[in-house]
């Protein structure tokens, strides 16, 4: 299986065709749709593990769509970073889908499973593409699926959050086209590798417009990733949607971060001459300010889901700080933190939904409510999640933050980075301790419980994600070694350009030789 | 021609930005549409403006028009079209669920204002009746 040349393409084909099959299977009942959805995700998991193996053994791997060589054809590029993101997406999707089935959220409206698969198609496409305009198209695919998922189930607040989300993302799409158009007008290409070469040979008179277009592209990714001034849509959208969708959307902000690492890291990478890494100070500043704002949001939240949404913002801001530090060591630590924060944020969204169901009409609001069923167990889960998310020892959040801070020591802004990360962590610990005591201790003991009994099947998803977090602590050394290797490959742009542009694609050889 | 095209793009973008910043959903939809038009023309212009040249390389002609932006514009038009349709449906859903067409939903004062604007004015007779009922209530 590992020497199958169209392996990167399989990660796109599986959810796209699978989603279509699920759509056609709708008259045969939800049970069949569920089985198909689960099988597809398991298949995707299998493919993504294979992708990871191939990417680490053979480095970059190029698949030319329609067998047209780059830069004229559109290519899919498999590198260690994209393989890692695809694997992370499939793990997250498995947990979210299992929760949706166990708590019957997929029953609340039509086409949940179809949209879910199309969402995965868009995500994997955005991770694997090697062409900026193709990235735009995959962004639109994943956004359109996400609009449907976000509004799944309906409700007044959900519609309001959804409307804001849709409008801001449509503005983002328009800006994306402006940026792509401007870059094409000057560089004359849209293939990421080819653009990197064009930027390296740019005459001095064209530097300013390319820099402006690059920053416009940064704004687009900033909207997706919810950077400091552009994050206001996120809490309303994430806090009001259904739990499995919010859990899956934990990866959506990371798509923006990934795009900055991949597109800006390659086009404005170490070989870009005057423009090398010119965007990084902006990223670092936005990350630092955003971290502070997110910490205040966590303190001010009046419900647990809203609080978790602000925690997602804080984790994105921490990632941006790590990216902005601009060293391979910092990027390795950031990618470790990216895996951790995505999985734990998803687990917390799911847990918040379980808690809200246990509290009946009081839902997730920080008010005195009758005690929930199995409060001791759920309290233990909440403690685990809070400790992991805020970055207290001994869980994976602590490891991630220590690695990032360690990498920050050499930077000029070390004092600012250390101060901001540590103070915001303290604020978040205080806020989470307060919400834990409000949810579990401040109860109306005399009133019988109003909530639903614990849904043990749904809790399996949360448990699974927490176990991965524990695994990330036990195997912190090997995992950090892996993310470090990925970071080194991102900073070593040469092989990427070489594979995409110079080597005739392996598939072409395979097709000509074998058939 | 360059200056004219630049002014067209600028005017459409400016109106689009102004309309997207409005408080009600319909101007926002219109604004997004205008922005999409502006970006389509912009993409076209990025292939350099040419007159009467084919998009396919033809040795008998003096040059060729860049075909790639034309393909990009085609894709962008289709996507913007689909997104606008979706947004209009969503705006209608929001209008019915949130009670008014403000992008933030029910602001009480805003909402009352919008009700006054949208309901037909009460007839004079109905107003007189209501006033009399009020007077009778006021008497002991």
How confident is the model over A357-395, as pLDDT tens digits? 988 888 888 888 888 888 899 999 999 999 999 998 889
Chain B hits for A177, Cβ within 8 Å? 39, 42-43, 72, 76
pLDDT exceeds 80 at position B105: no
pLDDT exceeds 60 at position B71: yes
What percentage of chain A carries pLDDT values higher than 70? 96
pLDDT in tens, B17-30: 999 999 899 999 99
CA distance A455 to A465: 17
Lowest mean pLDDT among A268-272, B31-35, B81-85: A268-272
pLDDT exceeds 60 at position A75: yes
Q: What is the DSSP string of chain B?
A: -HHHHHHHHHHHHHHHHHHHTSSBHHHHHHHHHHHHHHHHHHHHHTT---SS--SS--TTSS----HHHHHHHHHHHHHHHHHHHHHHHHHHHHHHHHSS-BTT---HHHHHHHHHHHSPPPPHHHHHHHHHHHHHHH--
B115 vs A236, more confident: A236
Going by pLDDT thresholds of 50, 70 and 90, the confidence category of residue A16 is very high
Please indicate whether, in this complex, the C-beta atoms of A160 and B93 are within 8 angstroms of each other: no
CB pairs under 8 A between A and B: 83
ipTM topping 0.95: no
Which ranges in A260-327 belong to alpha helices (H)? 265-267, 280-300, 304-325
Report in angstroms the alpha-carbon separations of A427 from A292, A293, A338, B43.
9, 11, 21, 46
Per-residue DSSP letter, B59? T
CA distance A152 to A158: 9
| Chain B residues whose C-beta sits inside 8 Å of any chain A C-beta | 20, 25, 28, 32, 35-36, 39, 42-43, 45-48, 68-69, 72, 75-76, 79-80, 82-83, 86-87, 90-91, 93-94, 97-98, 103-105
pLDDT exceeds 80 at position A136: yes
Backbone angles phi, psi at A129, to 5 degrees: -75, 150
Question: What residues have CB less than 8 Å from B70, skipping those under 6 apart?
Answer: B44, B47, B55
CATH code of the domain occupying B2-105: 1.10.287
A174 near A147, Cβ under 8 Å?
A: no
Per-residue DSSP letter, A412? T
Going by pLDDT thresholds of 50, 70 and 90, the confidence category of residue A154 is confident
CA distance A337 to A437: 27
Going by pLDDT thresholds of 50, 70 and 90, the confidence category of residue B131 is low
Going by pLDDT thresholds of 50, 70 and 90, the confidence category of residue A447 is confident
Average pLDDT over residues A60-78: 84
Average pLDDT over residues A9-18: 92
CA distance A257 to A244: 22
pLDDT at residue number B115: 47
Average pLDDT over residues B27-41: 95
Per-domain residue ranges for chain B?
Answer: 2-105
pLDDT at residue number A512: 45
Average pLDDT over residues A21-25: 94
Q: Which residues pair with A191 in a beta bridge?
A: A131
Please indicate whether, in this complex, the C-beta atoms of B69 and A184 are within 8 angstroms of each other: yes
Would you give the distance in Å from CA A11 to the centre of its chain?
17
CA distance B34 to B12: 6
Best CA proximity match to A3, nearest among A509, A502, A500, A479 = A509
pLDDT exceeds 60 at position A312: yes
Backbone angles phi, psi at A191, to 5 degrees: -70, 130
pLDDT exceeds 90 at position A428: yes
A156 touches chain B (CB under 8 A): yes
Residue of B nearest to A144 (CA): B83
Lowest mean pLDDT among A95-109, A317-331, B118-132: B118-132
CA distance A275 to A176: 20
What percentage of chain A carries pLDDT values higher than 90? 71
pLDDT at residue number A5: 63
pLDDT at residue number A90: 95
How many other C-beta atoms are found inside a 10 Å radius of the C-beta of residue A337? Answer: 25
CA distance A11 to A126: 11
- Torsion angle (degrees, nearest 10) of CA A501, A503, A506, A510: 120
pLDDT exceeds 50 at position B116: no
pLDDT exceeds 50 at position A308: yes
pLDDT at residue number B49: 86
What percentage of chain B carries pLDDT values higher than 70? 76
pLDDT exceeds 90 at position A249: yes
CA distance A179 to A219: 10
């Amino acid at each position: 299986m590992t020497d199958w040349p169209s392996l990167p393409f399989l990660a796109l084909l599986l959810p796209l065709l699978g989603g279509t099959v699920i759509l056609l299977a709708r008259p045969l009942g939800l049970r069949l749709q569920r089985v198909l959805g689960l099988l597809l995700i398991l298949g995707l998991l299998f493919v993504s593990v294979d992708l990871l193996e191939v990417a680490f053994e053979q480095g970059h791997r190029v698949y030319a769509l329609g067998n047209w060589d780059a830069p004229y054809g559109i290519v899919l590029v498999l590198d260690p970073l994209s393989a890692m993101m695809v694997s992370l997406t499939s793990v997250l999707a498995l947990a979210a889908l299992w929760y949706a089935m166990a708590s019957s959220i997929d029953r609340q409206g039509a086409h949940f499973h179809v949209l879910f698969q199309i969402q995965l198609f868009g995500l994997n496409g955005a991770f694997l593409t090697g062409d900026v305009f193709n990235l735009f198209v995959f962004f639109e695919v994943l956004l359109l699926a996400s609009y449907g998922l976000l509004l799944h189930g309906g409700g007044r607040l959900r519609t309001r959050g959804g409307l804001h989300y849709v409008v801001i993302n449509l503005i983002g799409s328009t800006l994306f086209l402006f940026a792509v158009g401007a870059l094409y007008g000057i560089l004359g290409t849209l293939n990421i590798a080819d653009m990197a070469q064009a930027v390296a040979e740019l005459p001095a008179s064209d530097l300013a417009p390319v820099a402006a277009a690059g920053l416009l592209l940064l704004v687009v990714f900033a909207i997706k990733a919810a950077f400091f001034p552009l994050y206001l849509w996120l809490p309303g959208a994430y806090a009001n949607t259904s739990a499995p969708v919010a859990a899956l959307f934990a990866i959506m902000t990371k798509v923006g971060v990934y795009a900055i690492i991949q597109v800006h890291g390659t086009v404005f990478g170490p070989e870009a001459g005057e423009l090398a890494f010119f965007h990084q100070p902006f990223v670092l500043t936005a990350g630092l300010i955003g971290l502070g704002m997110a910490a205040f949001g966590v303190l001010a939240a009046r419900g647990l889901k809203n609080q978790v949404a602000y925690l997602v913002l804080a984790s994105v801001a921490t990632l941006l700080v790590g990216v902005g530090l601009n060293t391979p060591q910092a990027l390795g630590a950031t990618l470790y933190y990216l895996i951790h924060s995505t999985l734990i944020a998803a687990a917390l969204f799911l847990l918040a939904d379980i808690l809200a169901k246990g509290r009946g009409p009081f839902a997730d609001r920080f008010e005195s409510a009758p005690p929930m069923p199995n409060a001791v167990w759920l309290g233990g889960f909440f403690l685990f999640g809070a400790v992991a998310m805020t970055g207290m020892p001994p869980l994976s959040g602590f490891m991630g933050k220590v690695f990032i801070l360690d990498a920050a020591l050499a930077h000029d802004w070390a004092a600012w980075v250390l101060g901001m990360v540590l103070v915001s962590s303290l604020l978040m610990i205080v806020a989470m301790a307060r919400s834990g005591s409000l949810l579990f201790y401040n109860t109306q003991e005399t009133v019988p419980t109003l909530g639903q009994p614990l849904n043990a099947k749904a809790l399996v998803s949360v448990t699974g994600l927490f176990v991965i977090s524990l695994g990330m602590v036990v195997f912190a050394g090997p995992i950090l070694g892996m993310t470090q290797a990925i970071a080194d490959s991102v900073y070593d742009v040469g092989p990427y350009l070489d594979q995409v542009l110079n080597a005739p694609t392996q598939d072409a050889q395979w097709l000509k030789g074998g058939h | 021609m360059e200056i004219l095209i630049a002014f067209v793009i600028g005017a459409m973008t400016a109106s689009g930005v102004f309309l997207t910043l409005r408080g009600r959903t319909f101007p926002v939809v219109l604004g997004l549409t205008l922005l999409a038009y502006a970006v389509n023309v912009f993409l076209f212009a990025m292939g350099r403006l040419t007159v009467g040249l084919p998009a396919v390389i033809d040795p008998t002609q003096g040059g060729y028009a860049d075909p790639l932006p034309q393909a990009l514009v085609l894709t962008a038009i289709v996507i913007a079209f689909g997104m606008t349709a979706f947004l209009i449906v969503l705006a209608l859903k929001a209008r019915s669920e949130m009670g008014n067409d403000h992008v933030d939903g029910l602001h009480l004062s805003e909402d009352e204002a919008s009700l006054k604007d949208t309901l037909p004015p009460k007839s004079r007779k109905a107003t007189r009746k209501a006033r009399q009922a009020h007077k009778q209530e006021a008497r002991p």
